[in-house]
Amino acid sequence: MKFFVDTADIDMIRDLDAKGMVDGVTTNPSIIAKSGRDFIEVIKEICDIVDGPVSAEVTATEAEGMIVEGKKLAEIAPNVAIKVPLTWDGLTACRALTRDGHMVNVTLCFSANQALLAAKAGATFVSPFVGRIDDMAYDGMDLIAEIKQIYDNYPALETEILVASVRTINHVRQAALIGADVATVPPQVLQSLAKHPLTDAGLEAFLADWQKTGQSI
């Protein structure tokens, strides 16, 4: 499973990239607003660090406007994936932009039927938001399993399942078990994946025993 990092924090992206954990990056208008930085500048900086797809989201709500914005975003770097919402206008824009050879990430997906439409429209990625579904007291991972089953039923559908709105390490584990193509993970969750109390305790014991030997390497 590929890891995308769900952030516009440049230092964090650099740090995780140095560990080989960054196959791509996702942003959205809320993430850009939180960064307090210029949208185009920040996407350009991320694209300079990361070779994989970097999602940048359009803010127009009509297909024509989305296509214009999408083309502008695609000019930033060849690895920009244009993010459009899962609306009829978004699907129209997706079709036009993918036909023009651009990567498109269809976002704000909350049902299997929506994911089917995204794939029919030729999306490169579909982003189902598992955390926000959990917030409504349903199980977001059930949706991932359904989409995986549907896409597997029809091998001609080439859209990748990009698990989004990831909030916990369990979301990551479940996404990998189901066989999702990508999980976009907030940096803090990604860092937590390496943590285990038995690793810490084991290391502490090894180091204490090593000190008793009086040796050094």
Binding site for ligand E4P (CB under 6 A): 6, 26, 28, 107, 127, 129, 131-132, 164-165, 184
| Nearest residue relative to ligand E4P (C-beta) | 165
Q: How far apart are CA 133 and CA 109, in angstroms?
A: 10
| Residue 19 designated active-site | no
Q: How far apart are CA 137 and CA 154, in angstroms?
A: 30
CB atoms within 10 A of CB 154: 11
Measured CA to CA, the distance from residue 77 to residue 121 in angstroms comes to: 23
Query: Residue 185: phi, psi to the nearest 5?
Result: -120, 130
Query: Does an H or E element contain 205, and which?
Result: helix 197-213
Residues tagged active-site: 83
